[in-house]
Each structure stands twice: as structure tokens, then as C-alpha cells.
Amino acid sequence: MDHLDKLESRSIHILREAYSEFNNICMLWSVGKDSTVMLWLARKAFFGHVPIPLVHIDTSYMIPEMIEHRDKLAKKWNLDMIYGQDEETLKAGNTFPNGQATHLECCGRLKTDALKNTLNGNWRRYRYNHNKDEYELDDNREPYTGVIVGARADEEGSRSKERYFSPRDRNNDWDIGDQPPEFWDQYKTDFAPGTHVRIHPLLDWTELDVWEYIQREKIPMVSLYFDQGEGKRYRSLGCGPCTETVDSTASTVDEVVEELKTGKFSNIAERDGRAQDKEDGGGLEELRKDGYM
Amino acid sequence: MNNKTGDKDLNLVIAGHVDHGKSTIIGRMLADTDSLPEGKLEQVKETCRKNSKPFEYAFLLDALKDEQAQGITIDSARVFFQTDFRQYIILDAPGHIEFLKNMVTGAARAEAALLVIDASEGVKENSRRHGYMLSMLGIKQIAVVVNKMDLVDYDEDTYNEIVAEYTEFLAELGMEAETFIPVSGMLGDNVADSSENMDWYHGKTVLEQLDSFENEALPHNKPFRMPVQDVYKFTKGGDDRRIVAGTVGAGELNIGDEVVFYPSGKKSTVKTIEGFKEDQQHKVKVGKATGFTLDEQIYITRGELASRADEAEPKVSARIKANLFWLARQDLVKDKVYYLKVGTAKVKARLEKINRVIDASNLDQDESKEKIERHDVAEVVFKLDKAMAFDLAGEIEETSRFVIVDDFEIAGGGIISEAMEDEQSWVREKVMRRNYNWEQSLISREDRAEKYNQKSTLILITGEEDVGKKPTAKALEKRLFNDGKVVYFLGIGNLLYGVDADIKNGDNGHKEEHLRRLAEVSHLMLDAGAILVVTAVELSQSDLELIKTTVNPQQIETVWLGDRVTTDLEFDLHIPEFTSEKEVSGQIKGLLQDRGIIFRPW
Ligand SMILES: Nc1nc2c(ncn2[C@@H]2O[C@H](COP(=O)(O)OP(=O)(O)OP(=O)(O)O)[C@@H](O)[C@H]2O)c(=O)[nH]1
Ligand SMILES: [Mg+2]
């Protein structure tokens, strides 16, 4: 088995453990490259089916292509697609940069709070109806007790210390100083009522692994990752106002891989362009303790 | 960063006593090999300057706020690192005893280890404890790094003393270090570059040693083992395949191979090897997450261990001897129910015996301890609620390892050294032989369930004498029969003088054989798809265990009738008062509906 085969098998093993051990499970799909690779791995794990609902947190500031791509694949791959959002904040307009909110506050509401309340069923969920080809209010408000997330250990310091199965308490908090032991392919699949477990099948993957796998498997990616002739592309996706493009002429998967291996990005961290990582030393660690992905 | 080195990539752990310089060595190595993302070193230096703290290479890895504040590693970090030769994930483990569980978490993912010892402090208790844990985790390649040589003026004698002391310690564990390397992590001597301060040393640098570790061969040449993760049938997605899914733990499997599942002993032949978007496979090898279909429709579930009929079979037992390490704050004690997980099997377990407890920091032994405390290592015997399949340490590592779950948390881990006899062994052997030789019908269990609109189930009604068990059972039979169910009341007397006629009457010693035959007859009736109602006087938990050895535990429902509960049976339903046949049988019917054995009319 080569490097990618090993990563693939381990991730599939974890996805299957999660599916068997949790009754109420979902997978967070941001439409970005990592979670799309994860979705692809789920199709492999379950032999072409995806028996796990996909949850998308729609901040409404997502770049429009992302929503198009999401719905196209949802149809094509017969996905059980669900989205949720912070409807109140959006209505009141308390967002960044135009409303009365700092960047971190905005993330805290549109991402962290929306995620928390969509997962625990406090806020509305919308579910794609394949027959009618539209989203409708989902009457299932059951909290998800297992949430599969495409975080990678190489992204940032606190993620380098994550578990494959990582418990969150009642408030969605992550007790990073006291994580459970995890060894010999045995994971934390028992949990107290009211708590839930985050599952990370991609922890051992690097950004380059992800792109080489996309290349090998020919996984369809949203076009934002590629230069459309203006010498710019996104290296990581998020909300329009807060995610910057990078200067690059890579317009195909092959070119992106090449650029990561030898080009100017081979030495620059992926999250370099994201503001929340920098605002203070432990910015992302704090967000993550609070339940940010 | 441009070489994908195929199957050579290696996971490596760096371990050792607190503050002996593990994170510093790795940080220094990243810096000296230009492996850090652009600007990272400057950023960390800047942060240190702002907080008026001296710069530490360790801060490149100790990313958590608390870690930097306390100058200590709390949790193992994954560090991605690459040489011209191969790719690494380096697991930087914490040395503080408080975080031993995090050290184990990191180390268990590794194939090789660097063990760091501070030259000025010498061998400390966690230098030894970590060595012990590495050996328990099955890590065979260890290189010892003697750090902070700058603090002892790069003195060869000091180094040699540590080498001698630690070599002797490892020998007691039956291990031998690949090499010893004198370094200064802080100043970079012998980390990525050879030191000019130690001309007496001619061996490898840390970096060179990394590339000298060998990749551990996956267990290719061992008997095939695959813990069954699940059996998938995605009928809703228009897919009729019934796929046994799992990751191959050892050996290989081919289309046409006869597979046997343990502990059930059920057998079938591999029809196809399944995948998604990959070429048709005829063979699947160790390490691969896979799935296969079978020729016959045998009923198996998560937790079985798949093996090949033409290779050595795994052990099956409900009692094991094991070497164990304990990580939880609360002690491991007798008289408490834990869960034991091996492969994908999960069974209830009780600590039966403590043979001896070992202090891993000095190898002292204690044979009188009655409980196992946090960070103890011990040889113990566990009694399991149900038999499970496994292998022994030294034969197939992957399937000999287990964890203990206490109160939702993984609390310890261990390696099985012996399969011991248990009370049900004699029945189990018969059952496995029966399953192995079972003549498979063309009609599957699901087919029957669908046709009869019920799940075949054994209902055991028990309680003291004369509490109305039989009238209840007969009323229940009638009631279900009138509902159109395939149901049968089996009177014990009907067995005694027929199936059991050769067993000497009135001899209590034969109770177990009576039970075994009752269970075998039940098994046949359940296989035929029926709901079977049986009464028995004061059934105990061990009686039930024996029946469960023969009949699938998921197909048994127990009802205790009467006010006084006189045995230790863990029943599914208690009906304290026999009001009337009608009412009591109605309550049992309710139970069957709740459990989805028969379906409620909506
Ligand atoms: N003089 C000297 N100091 C060193 C050397 N290596 C590490 N140190 C210092 O020793 C202290 C501990 O180093 P760390 O790298 O954090 O130790 P560690 O083994 O990772 O500690 P834990 O992870 O908490 O167990 C730091 O203050 C380092 O600067 C060395 O080679 N020489
Ligand atoms: Mg450290």
C-alpha cells in the first residue's frame, strides 16, 4: 500500500466505526476540499452510498459557487443534505464587516453558534427533498451525538493535538487539557447523555495529501480553487468577505499539486490568509474550545 | 517537499522524562532542516519577545496556551516532517506523569521511538516508565538520545554511565536500543548536524537515525484476520449486495476462500471482494479497509472475527489472562462491571484476579495488591460476560490487544497472554462445531422474518413455582397465534421424556445438559422463524449465559413473573403480580412490540 492508500484505509475504518457506534450521526460538509474528500471517502466506505446526513452551516456569506456545487453534488450523489443558519443575527444584520460586529464576533455567531444550535436541534434545520428538488423544514430536531468533521492536524497548533474521536461536553466545549486516551484503533464511542463526540477521519492528512488524493480519484472540486484566468485562486474557502484569494495561475488539479510541491506555497501554511488565526496568540484554539470546527 | 515515498513513511514517537528536552530536539530539527513554514520561527520568536520570555524551540510544537505558559507539553502533537528518504509523522509526547495517557495515545501510533534522557539529570522514573510503555505498546525499535550534553561539558564518561544504566534497564524488559546518541537539542549538536564538541562520538545524528529506522512489516504472512465492523445492505439505495465490511488486520483473503467467523463458528465462501470506483479485486491484503460478499446468507454481526478455514483459527473464550496498564484516575477493582473491547467486539468484563502489580518506574513487583491504581501495570485475569474471539500476544499482535472502558472512558489497555477455560467452554465447543457444519438453507433469516412478519425470538418466562408461568405462556401463544404469528409453546416436560430421555432422571448434576438441549431445540425453532415461548423455574443468570452460548443473545427476551425475585437473573421485564392470563400475556406482547419483534398496527 502506498501513502495515500494507507491514509484512505485508516479514514474509511474511522468512518465505519463512527457509523456503527453512533445512532444519531452527521457529517459536516463545508463544500471545501477537505470535507469533500471526506464525503468521497464515505462513498468508498459504504460502497457508493452515503448513509449519513450531511450538514452545511450556511453563513449566507458563502461564495455563491459553493452553494451551487453543494446542491449539484447532493442531487448527483443522492445525499441526505441538511443546512442550518443563524437566522436572527442575519435578520438583524449584526455581522462583519458591514454590521455591528467584529470579525471574531461574526464567526462566533454565524459559524460557532449556528453550528451548535443546528447540531443540538435548537434551531431550524432545512433538508433537501429530492423529489421536489427543494429544501424544506426538517421536523427531525434530534441532537446529533456523533459529528464527523474534516479537520487536519497540520492546519494549526491545537488541531495537531486532536483525537480521532474527540468528546465535547454539554456546552460544546472541548477540554483540550484532558482528552481521553486513544490507541490500538479503539476510540471513544461511549459518551454521557447530553454530550457528543467529534470524529476526525482526516487528522493524518496534509494539504498536499488531500490534493494528491483529489488528483488520483478525480474528485469534483468547486471551481474557486482554480485560477479562471485572472491569476488568482482560493487556497481555502470560507465566507466571501473574510477569505482572501492567493496569487496563482494554477488552473487545474495537476497544477495545484505541482504548486504545492515545488512552487511558492510549498513553504507557506494554508491558513496564512485567515484572519482569525492571528488576532491573538490562541485565537483558533479559543474558537475551537467553544465548538468552532 | 516533493517526494512521495510510497510505503516507506514512518510514524515516530519521542518520549522520556519531563523537561528532558523532547520538544526542543524536534523543534531544533525542524528549524535546522528548513522544515518550518515560512515566517513561523520569526513569529514564535516575536511572541516570546512580546511576552518577555526566552525563546524556546519547544514552542514550535507546544502550541497550546497552557503549554507555553507552563513550559511543558500537555498533549502529544503530530508533527509532519520529511527527509529526502521518506515522510514522517513525529508524535511529540509529554513527559509529565500526569499526562501519561497522552503519551500512550501518541506512542501507540508509532513504529519507532526516540527516548530522551537529560545528561545532567540522568535516568529518571519516567525514562523507565516510558520505556516500559513502549515495550507494552509493541514498539520494537528504540534509539536513546542523551540530551543537554552542553550542561555536562560534553563529557564522555557521563554519557557512558547513562548508556550503561539504561541498557541494563532495557535488557530487563527484553529490549535493546538501536543506538545511543549524545546531543544538545538547544544548541543543535548531533541533531541535524554532526557536533564538533564531541569528537569522541562517531555515530549517527538524530536525523540520520530517523532514516535508519526500518519500516515494520505489516503482518502479511500471518493467518487472515478481519474484525467485522458491520454487515451492510443498502436496500433503500437500490443495492442488494450484502457486504461484510472491515479492515484486514493480518494476512490476506481471496475470492473462493472459505471464511469462518468467530466466536459463532459460522462458515461461508467468499463470493466477491467489493469496492467503490476501483478495479475488480480477487485478493485483499493486510491494512486495507475492504468488504466482501458471501455465497450463503449466513447471519453474522459486528464483533465477529473473520478468519480463513484453511489457516490457524483464533482463540475463543470468556476468560482471559492479560498484561494490562491502567490510566484512569479511579482504580480498577473487582466486583465492578467494565467493558472490554477487542477488535470490533465489546463485551462486559469483570476483574477476577490480580496476579501481580508492577511499578513500571522501577520494576518492583507486588503480589498482594487488591486493586490496580492509576499508572500501574499488572498481570490479571478477566471474566467476560460472553465469549469473544482473539489471538495471543506473540502470535498476532493486532488481535491480541484490548482496551477497558470504565464509565464512558477508555481507562486502560492490555495484551492477552492466555485463553483460559470458562464455565461455558464445553457448550461453546459443541456450538462452534454445529455452526461450522451447519447446512445452509436457501431462505435467509430476513426472508423468513419478512414472510412471517415477525422476528424469531425465544421468550423465557421464569419465576418461583406456582406464580402462573404456564397459564401465561399458553395464553401468550394463543394470543399471538390469533394475531397470525408463527408461535409455539414448548413445555419442558415435552422435552424431558423425549429429547432428554437418555439423561438419568432426578440427577441435578445434569441440569446443564438439560439446558443445553433446550437451547439447541430452541435454536432450531428460531432458525425456522418461530417465536418460541418457554417456561422455567427460577432461572439464574448463569443458566441464561449457557442458553446464550447456544442461542443468539439478541433473540432472547426474559420475563420474571411474581413479586419475589429469587435469582441474579438480569431480566428484560418484571411482572410482579399475576393478575390474569389475559393481562399478563398482554404485557408481554407489549414488550415484543416495543422491541420490534412483532409490529404494532398503526
Ligand atoms: N542547556 C540545555 N537545555 C535544554 C536542552 N534541551 C532542552 N533544554 C531545556 O530544557 C527545558 C525543557 O525542554 P522541553 O523541550 O520543553 O522538554 P520536554 O522533554 O519536551 O518536556 P515535556 O514535554 O514537558 O515532558 C527547556 O527550558 C529547554 O530550553 C539542551 O540541549 N541543553
Ligand atoms: Mg515537550
Q: Are residues B36 and B136 in the same domain?
A: yes
**Residue B600 belongs to a domain:** no
Helix (H) or strand (E) holding A71: helix A64-76
Q: Are residues B44 and B191 in the same domain?
A: yes
**Pairwise CA distance, residues B263 & B244, whole Å:** 16
Q: Are residues B173 and B300 in the same domain?
A: no
CB A20 within 8 Å of CB A141: no
Candidate from A92-101, B186-195, B591-600 with smallest mean pLDDT: A92-101
* Protein residue with least CA distance to atom 8, ligand 1: B21
Instruction: Calculate what percentage of chain B has a pLDDT beyond 90.
Output: 73
Q: Are residues B411 and B496 in the same domain?
A: no
Residues forming a β-bridge with B285: B252
Would you say residue A276 has pLDDT above 80? no
Examine the fold and report which residue of B292, B308, B324 is the final residue of a domain before the chain moves on: B308
* Protein residue with least CA distance to atom 2, ligand 1: B148
**Pairwise CA distance, residues B539 & A186, whole Å:** 36
Candidate from B75-89, B407-421, B426-440 with smallest mean pLDDT: B426-440
Give the domain range for residue B199.
10-212
Per-range mean pLDDT, top range of A31-45, A104-118, B428-442: A31-45
Would you say residue B7 has pLDDT above 90? no
Write down the mean pLDDT value for chain A: 87
Q: Are residues B189 and B242 in the same domain?
A: no
Categorize the per-residue pLDDT at B546 as very low, low, confident or very high, splitting at 50, 70 and 90.
Answer: confident
Task: Give the number of beta-carbon pairs within 8 Å between A and B.
Answer: 171
Q: Are residues B407 and B267 in the same domain?
A: no
Which is higher by pLDDT, B201 or B541? B201
Q: Strand locations in B25-111, DSSP E?
A: 77-82, 87-92
ipTM value for the complex: 0.90
- Provide the pLDDT for residue B139: 94
The alpha-carbon gap from B35 to the nearest alpha carbon of chain A, in Å, equals 8
Q: What is the mean pLDDT of residues B455-481?
A: 95
**At residue B175, what is the residue type?**
M
Q: Which residues contact B405 (CB under 8 A, 6 or more apart)?
A: A190, B338, B339, B340, B341, B346, B411
Q: Are residues B353 and B297 in the same domain?
A: no
CB B436 within 8 Å of CB B548: no
Would you say residue B271 has pLDDT above 80? yes
SS3 for A175? coil
Q: How many residues does chain B have?
A: 602
Q: What is the mean pLDDT of residues B81-92?
A: 92
**Pairwise CA distance, residues A270 & B459, whole Å:** 60
Would you say residue B432 has pLDDT above 90? no
Helix residue spans in B453-502 (DSSP H): 469-482, 492-496
Candidate from A251-255, A256-260, B60-64, B183-187 with smallest mean pLDDT: B60-64
- Provide the pLDDT for residue B436: 85
**CATH code for the domain of B254:** 2.40.30.10
Q: For residue range A56-99, list pLDDT tens digits in order.
A: 998 888 888 899 999 999 999 999 999 998 888 888 887 887 77
The full set of domain ranges for chain A reads 3-205+279-289, 222-277
- Provide the pLDDT for residue A129: 95
Preceding omega of A201 cis (within 30 degrees of 0):
no
How many domains are there within chain B?
A: 4
Q: Are residues B289 and B325 in the same domain?
A: no
Cβ separation A182–B105 shorter than 8 A: yes
CB A66 within 8 Å of CB A38: no
**Pairwise CA distance, residues B91 & A11, whole Å:** 19
Longest distance between any two alpha carbons in chain A, whole Å: 53
Q: For residue range A12-63, list pLDDT tens digits in order.
A: 999 999 999 998 999 999 999 999 999 999 999 999 999 999 999 988 888 8
Examine the fold and report which residue of B212, B237, B258 is the final residue of a domain before the chain moves on: B212
- Which residue reads 438480569 in cell numbers? B570
Q: Are residues B178 and B85 in the same domain?
A: yes
**Residue B295 belongs to a domain:** yes
Which is higher by pLDDT, B360 or B236? B360
Examine the fold and report which residue of B378, B396, B427 is the final residue of a domain before the chain moves on: B427
In A, which residues are within 8 Å of B246 by CB distance? 16
- Which residue reads 450523489 in cell numbers? A77
Q: For residue range B319-364, list pLDDT tens digits in order.
A: 999 999 999 999 999 989 999 999 999 999 999 999 999 999 999 9
Q: Are residues B86 and B157 in the same domain?
A: yes
Q: Are residues B403 and B512 in the same domain?
A: no
Candidate from A66-70, A238-242, B189-193, B550-554 with smallest mean pLDDT: A238-242
CB A285 within 8 Å of CB A177: no
Q: What is the mean pLDDT of residues B481-499?
A: 88
- Provide the pLDDT for residue A280: 41
**Pairwise CA distance, residues B84 & B436, whole Å:** 52
- The C-alpha R_g of chain B, in whole angstroms, comes to 30
Q: Are residues B446 and B419 in the same domain?
A: no
- Provide the pLDDT for residue A279: 40
- Look up residue B344 and give its DSSP letter: T
Categorize the per-residue pLDDT at B1 as very low, low, confident or very high, splitting at 50, 70 and 90.
Answer: very low
Candidate from B4-13, B422-431, B568-577 with smallest mean pLDDT: B4-13
- Provide the pLDDT for residue B3: 41
CB B476 within 8 Å of CB B582: no
Report how far ligand 1's centroid is from the alpha carbon of B22 (Å): 6
- Provide the pLDDT for residue A262: 82
**Residue B573 belongs to a domain:** yes
Helix (H) or strand (E) holding B128: helix B125-136
Residues with CB under 6 A from ligand 1: B 18-24, 56, 58, 72-73, 94-96, 147-148, 150-151, 184-186
Q: What is the CATH number of domain A3-205+279-289?
A: 3.40.50.620
Smallest Cβ–Cβ distance between A43 and the set B63, B137, B276 belongs to B276
φ, ψ (nearest 5 deg) of residue B276: -125, 125
The alpha-carbon gap from A51 to the nearest alpha carbon of chain B, in Å, equals 8
- Look up residue B292 and give its DSSP letter: E
- Which residues are close to ligand 2, an ion, with C-beta < 5 A? B 22-23, 73
**Pairwise CA distance, residues B582 & A214, whole Å:** 64
**Residue B4 belongs to a domain:** no
Would you say residue A205 has pLDDT above 90? yes
Categorize the per-residue pLDDT at B136 as very low, low, confident or very high, splitting at 50, 70 and 90.
Answer: very high
Q: Strand locations in B165-213, DSSP E?
A: 179-182
Would you say residue B5 has pLDDT above 50? no
**Pairwise CA distance, residues B279 & B281, whole Å:** 6
| Cell reading at A41 | 471517502
Interface test with A, best of B9, B65, B280 (most A CBs within 10 A): B65
CB A48 within 8 Å of CB A77: no
Candidate from A229-243, B513-527, B554-568 with smallest mean pLDDT: A229-243
